[in-house]
Structure 1
Amino acid sequence: MKTSVCLLALVAVVAAEVYFTEEFNDDSWEQRWVQSKHKEDYGEFKLSAGKYFGVESRDQGIKTSQDAKFYSRAAKFDKEFSNKGKSVVIQYTVKHEQGIDCGGGYVKVMRSDADLADFHGETPYNVMFGPDICGSTRRVHVILNYKGKNHLIKKEINCKLDELTHLYTLILNSDNTYDVKIDGKSVQSGSIEEDWDLLPAKKIKDPDAKKPEDWDEREYIDDAEDTKPEDWEKPEHIPDPDAKKPEDWDDEMDGEWEPPMIDNPEYKGDWKPKQIKNPAYKGKWIHPEIENPEYTPDDELYLYENWGAIGFDLWQVKSGTIFDNVIVTDSIQQAEDHAAETFDKLKVDEEEKKAAEDAIARAAQEEALKKQEAEEAEQQDEEEAAKEEEEGHDEL
């Protein structure tokens, strides 16, 4: 039995495939990533490890370098593949080192026959995944193409807003489930059918059903036996009984004097009969539902028969985003291993360097504050000395 389990595990490892990786370790990336010619003025990606890094060649990626530009570059996989009967994992890192205010940080994964030289916003894709920040929009997009139409996930997934590197992972499983991870931790998961409107609703309101005319949805009604008290009607405002006509009031010049109006303390407001339980109350009428004849289940919502290219097609107001450590595989373990060799190591170096820089900045701030306090104290001493000297002259 143990032998069988070991053999199965070995087969699983052997069967795992990595279809695409890119770490942008040197200038050769430009030969693999095609620059779109759809527009003439695309922004330029440049190699950069950014402000914080450990090993430059390991931690560098491609960085958006021009403000207020569209960017569009894509690369083909070594071979196309189908994810039938297995998971597909899309993973990469993003660093918005510029403190992004409006711009995309997502990838699009396409078929192998995508025209990368004409890659643009309307180019068909299987999946669009990653962060998008612009004003109040600060979310992780997960858009699935189904039968030629793009569908955005119905759940809100918040993205990271700081200036450090973050790892974004999307897993589509063959049981029609998904998992979105940020920095290796799941932030949203569930059923593809439930969390996207790919299929018509299973049930719809019965078009032949109508609420009965005598259906009473009023839980409470006016008490027919309740009557308004005879002394209820009081004016809301009355003349101020304590007001007196001013002595200098001239009726001929000022007109006839009238006391000012005040709130009537005996005013009770509009009378309404008390409420009682409605004996005819039947509850809120619920429209009956029937099976939707247009609904057909699909056990392969996760499936794309052809994967073969990946690209960045985005707009940025302020440039400075760095993309790196791209991997597309059918193995969650392979994706985790890749993150351990790239993102995890960068994260440690990045956090240490930022912490050191923050410490230096705090020390400089404290020193500046001490200097300011010393200058203010010195100025105060000088002012007090000058005041004492002036008082001495006055005494003489």
Structure 2
Amino acid sequence: MTTTKSTATKSGTSNWSARLNGAFWLALILFAGAGLLVVGKLPPWIIGLVVAAGVALGALLFLLRWLAKRRDPAYSPGRSFGAFALGGALGMVGLASLPVYYLAFWVQSGPTAVPLATLSNGQKTVIFQGMQHIGSEEFYKSVVFDLEQALADGYTLFYEGVTPVDGRPDLTDWFNQTLRGSKQDLSAGYRKMAAQCGLSFQLNYFDAIKADMAIHPSRHITADANFLEMKTEYDRLLREDPAFAAGMAAKAARAKPATSDSGDPFALFLGIVEGATPEQKKLAGIVCRGVLGMAVSGALGEANDPSNHIIVDFRNKTLARFVDESKSEKIYITYGAAHFPGFFAELQQRDPKFAIRSVKGVRPMTLPDEPRLAPSAVSGTTQ
């Protein structure tokens, strides 16, 4: 009787082991199948590297298994190595695709929306449209439509744009090399990035309101600092803020010599994308959109860059000053989305009566080949 029960127990354990083993391989195959949707579109040499890395990982795990089971007469090293090599290859194909799926998540569900906020102090109404330098065509068309409507409603338009100083090209060079770390023209870099990522560059869509700029220049204000003002503030911080001085010194020590591409995190990426197949460019578009979305949300850690004291904080103060000193009672601002929190804080310091009356988030990007719809609000609050 005891022998029968023992046999039945072993049989039951064996059945459960076989079921779990089968479920594991089914899950692994499905995981690899999802990964193949991404990895299979890459160049053959990259696919080969992924598979080779998986086999190498499987071999390492096999070695550990072999050391533990080598004295077991029922253990088959050859079959075991084959299983580990196959499992490693399948697993690596799935793992290699995860970054792309994760970045796609950032585009669709991550905190990548830019703000469209209405502020008021009871006398002035200020609309802040957060911008992104490159984005989907529909986003920019929607913004331009809103700007034209704002002009019709009597708003003064405030634009972002650091202005050069006549006769001082050295200041532009200083800005590019010291704060940006690149000699490459900023707009040219964005245009190239937009072309390779399947997106659009924001300045391409403002031609529609240039006619009104010529007729009513007082209604179109570049509400930003110039390079001399930024250099003056930079020198002041070097003298008065030891932490800022140390941060800039460390940044300079880490920086490579400024060339046409240095400081541009997309330079190598864009070089790889050139000449890619349509499917590969679609993947590149997802990666590009995801990285941009993370940059907008601050997930890449750019907030720790000491240059932001000038590029962001000082310009927030400048924008708040423009708004506070403006005689216009209705102002529509188009500015980088990252500026909004700091700008609003600076504006409240100048006039505590300013409050957010409404705010919603608008997504400036969609995944490649999605239906072309106008951007929609993803969140909204009213205060």
Larger Rg: 1
Which has the larger share of helix? Answer: 2
TM class by shorter-chain length?
under 0.3
TM-score by length of 2: 0.19
Which has the larger share of strand? Answer: 1
TM-score by length of 1: 0.19
